[in-house]
Amino acid sequence: MENFAGRVAVITGAGSGLGREFANLAATLGMKLVLADIDAHALEQASSTLQAAGADVLAMVCDVRKAAHVEELADAATIRFHAVHLLFNNAGVGTAGLIWEHSEADWEWVLGVNLWGVIHGVRVFTPLMLESARNDPAYEGHIVNTASMAGLLVPPVMGPYNVSKHAVVALSESLYHDLRLVDAPVKASVLCPYFVPTDIAHAERHRPDDLRHDGPPTPSQQASQALLEQAVAAGKPSAADIARMTFDGVRRGDFYICTHPHVMPAVADRMDAIVHGKPPADPYAATPHYTARLKAAVKR
């Protein structure tokens, strides 16, 4: 997809972080916007700012864990704009700590947003996009699923997040193959950023009441969460930079959009370990000081 002006972008997790930057860039390219987020206040701020700058915006509070919410989002987008051309299944949350210490609620929350949100987006919007293609020979569509380098690597103390993002990569690859089978004018990409300074390390504030912790966090969860917040805050490039890289990838038709090339040797090490039957490679081999800090913090 090379032309964006006048076309429609649907973005989940649009109130902050990558989603907000996708919306900002899409607006500057002349796209019409359908913005969704569970945070009503952040969503209103984003929507108002974009509308004041002249963008045509439909904003809806949406919990992507829930199929009905995503279906309502698709219905509203179709009624308002008649078609969807660019879909960002982007909403995401994270949690930290030793994998056996996560509660059932932790798993339900992370998998609900990160994985089921993408499942619902693909299941609901892909048929609409294919229908638009049948009705318009000039139609072009593209679906971008936000995974993570944690979908290509397996960092310690990020178990539920890793599982969810590996599943998003597999889902996206499946989508790519299935779209090719039907010769669809709809392409797919999976976005795999590394640490980016967004609000994801503080996603806990948006956790639904029915999935709250039953008790206080464990020492490992406290320690790894603190280190995760530091790593995210220090991340480079910025969310706006990642948005530009993503749109460039959409223009080129890239499937894998990996925004931090310096991390790719670690991905190669992981693949090499799999192929040669070795133990899992250390994803932080290039930054042993971080592994040492993490190990010391968790042991305390």
Q: What is the pLDDT of residues 179-233, one digit of tens each?
A: 999 999 999 999 999 999 898 888 888 899 999 877 888 888 998 888 888 888 8
Q: Is the pLDDT of residue 10 over 90?
A: yes
Q: Which helix (H) or strand (E) holds 178?
A: helix 159-181
pLDDT in tens, 240-297: 999 999 999 999 999 999 999 999 999 999 999 999 999 999 998 877 887 888 888 7
Domain locations along the chain = 8-218+235-263
| pLDDT for 235 | 87
The angle, 0 to 180 degrees and rounded to 10, between the axes of the packed helices 67-81 and 117-135 is: 30
| Structural fold of domain 8-218+235-263 | Rossmann fold (3.40.50)
Tell me the residue type at 122: V
Cite the active site residues: 161
Question: Which tokens in the block code for residue 151?
Answer: 């979908």
Measured distance CA(72)–CA(119) in Å, rounded: 15
pLDDT tens per residue, range 101-142: 999 999 999 999 999 999 999 999 999 999 999 999 999 999
On whether the pTM is more than 0.85, the answer is yes
String of b and e for 224-248 (b: at least 16 CB within 10 Å)?
bbebbeebbeebeeebeebbebbbe
Is the pLDDT at 300 greater than 80? The verdict is no
